[in-house]
Amino acid sequence: MTYSIQIKVMPLKELLDPQGKAVLGGLANLGLASIKDVRIGKHITLEVEAGSAEEARAKAEEASKKLLANPVMEFYEIELVN
Amino acid sequence: MKFGVVVFPGSNCDRDMYDALSYELGMEVKMLWHKDKDLSDFTTDDCIVLPGGFSYGDYLRCGAIARFSPLMQSLGEFVAKGGKVLGVCNGFQILCEAGLLPGALLANANQQFICKNIHIIGEEGQVLQIPIAHGEGRYYADEATLDALEAGGQVIYRYCDAKGNITPAANPNGALRNIAGICNAERTVFGMMPHPERASSKALGNTDGQEVFKALLLNAVPA
């Protein structure tokens, strides 16, 4: 069956995220001063043909590790939707 | 020694690289298409150059898709044999994504694309004026990797001021330890963000870039 998988790719927590910083400045200009931090990553959805949820997750894991995220600068979280 | 300049979809510094190596330095240069697999023309005395640009539109991450080009598979074997590789700008990003050099190039700290002349200082203390043109050039690696690069003499260029002082103010993109270029432990794979090919012609008023090619590749004493 086909499994829907969502992958969150985020810059490593210790890394400066210039994009998030620029957006934080924009939010402050809107008067939303209570927002103290913004970090911006990627949201990737996959449709995976697999025999089981475990197999689908394993494929997504391989995809994330080998291409979708770069472990030098990013971490990822995989979520199985169905 | 001859050179091969690789063209990826989205490369835009390939002709400048050809001109610098061929017309300015008088080297034999062959253009290579990213779908070429055959590098048998090239020996370990030769150098494959990955030029700057926006390969595959910088999709996903800069250089992330280019590493799957057929030529990149052959390039891995070429490097394993001891062949030389130089990656400039996007070429440097591709080498990091391919795992041929450690670390990664992140978005510039000021979140801007920066295109201007800057100064870099080489291993022999030579200060050169070379242009940069990138949005993602902030060299990053973990502390252990950075220490290993420094201990192994693998930092080939750092951003500096006109007098050669390595200062935070002279760092255009927030690169860790002002790193502008590195090489592998074997000194066969070189990557740098500044564009020596854009500073190699007398007609354009700056030939400092020629010194880069000479220092890294042409005058280099074989190990």
pLDDT for position B222 = 47
Residue closest to B182 by CA, chosen among B86, B97, B94, B98: B86
Cβ distance B110 to A68 less than 8 Å, yes or no, reads: no
Q: What is the mean pLDDT of the segment spanning B197-215?
A: 95
**Number of domains comprising chain A:** 1
pLDDT for position B64 = 95
pLDDT for position B223 = 41
CATH of the domain at A73: 3.30.1280.10
pLDDT tens-digit series, residues A1-21: 999 999 999 999 989 899 999
Query: Measured between alpha carbons, how far is B7 from B1 in angstroms, rounded to an integer?
Result: 20
Residue A53 structural domain = 2-80
Chain A / chain B CB contacts < 8 angstroms: 31
| A12: contact with B, CB 8 A cutoff | no
Q: What is the mean pLDDT of the segment spanning A36-50?
A: 97
pLDDT for position A33 = 92
Query: Measured between alpha carbons, how far is A3 from A67 in angstroms, rounded to an integer?
Result: 19
Does residue B221 have a pLDDT over 60?
no
The average confidence (pLDDT) of chain A is 95
Chain B residues whose CB is inside 8 A of the A68 CB are: 60
pTM of structure: 0.93
* Candidates B69, B96, B106, B114, partner chain A, best to mutate (most A CBs within 10 A): B106
Q: Which residues of B are catalytic?
A: 89, 195, 197
Query: Measured between alpha carbons, how far is B152 from B105 in angstroms, rounded to an integer?
Result: 20
Q: Which two tokens stand for residue B129?
A: 């004026």
Cβ distance B111 to A19 less than 8 Å, yes or no, reads: yes
Instruction: Please indicate whether residue B132 or residue B216 has the higher confidence score (pLDDT).
Output: B132
| B97: contact with A, CB 8 A cutoff | yes
What dihedral do alpha carbons B92, B183, B31, B93 form, nearest 10°?
A: -10
pLDDT for position B217 = 86
Alpha carbon of B60: minimum distance to chain A alpha carbons (Å)? 7
At B220, is the pLDDT very low, low, confident or very high (cuts 50, 70, 90)? low
What does B70-84 look like in DSSP terms, one character per residue?
A: HHHHHHHHHHHHT-E
Q: Could you tell me which chain A residue has the CA closest to the CA of B145? A: A72
- Taking a C-beta distance cutoff of 8 angstroms, is the pair B193, B184 a contact? no
Does residue B152 have a pLDDT over 70?
yes
Residue closest to B39 by CA, chosen among B91, B82, B96, B9: B82
What does B9-77 look like in DSSP terms, one character per residue?
A: TTB-SHHHHHHIIIIIT--EEEEEETT----TT--TTSEEEE--B-GGGG-SSTTTTGGGSHHHHHHHH
Q: Are strands B155-160 and B179-183 parallel, antiparallel or unpaired?
A: antiparallel
Helices assigned H by DSSP within chain A: 18-29, 53-63
Chain A residues whose CB is inside 8 A of the B64 CB are: 67, 70
Chain B residues whose CB is inside 8 A of the A18 CB are: 107-111
Alpha carbon of B77: minimum distance to chain A alpha carbons (Å)? 19
Residue A38 one-letter amino acid: V
Chain B residues whose CB is inside 8 A of the A72 CB are: 96, 103-104, 140-142
pLDDT tens-digit series, residues B164-203: 999 999 999 999 999 999 999 999 999 999 999 999 999 9
Residues in CB range of B138: below 8 A, 6 or more apart: B105, B106, B107, B108, B109, B173, B174, B175, B176
Q: B3 has which bridge partners? A: B29, B47
pLDDT tens-digit series, residues B84-118: 999 999 999 999 999 999 999 999 999 899 999 99
ipTM score above 0.90: no
* Candidates B58, B59, B60, B171, partner chain A, best to mutate (most A CBs within 10 A): B60
Considering CB atoms only, which of A19, A68, A70 is closest to B97?
A: A70
pLDDT tens-digit series, residues B43-79: 999 999 999 999 999 999 999 999 999 999 999 999 9
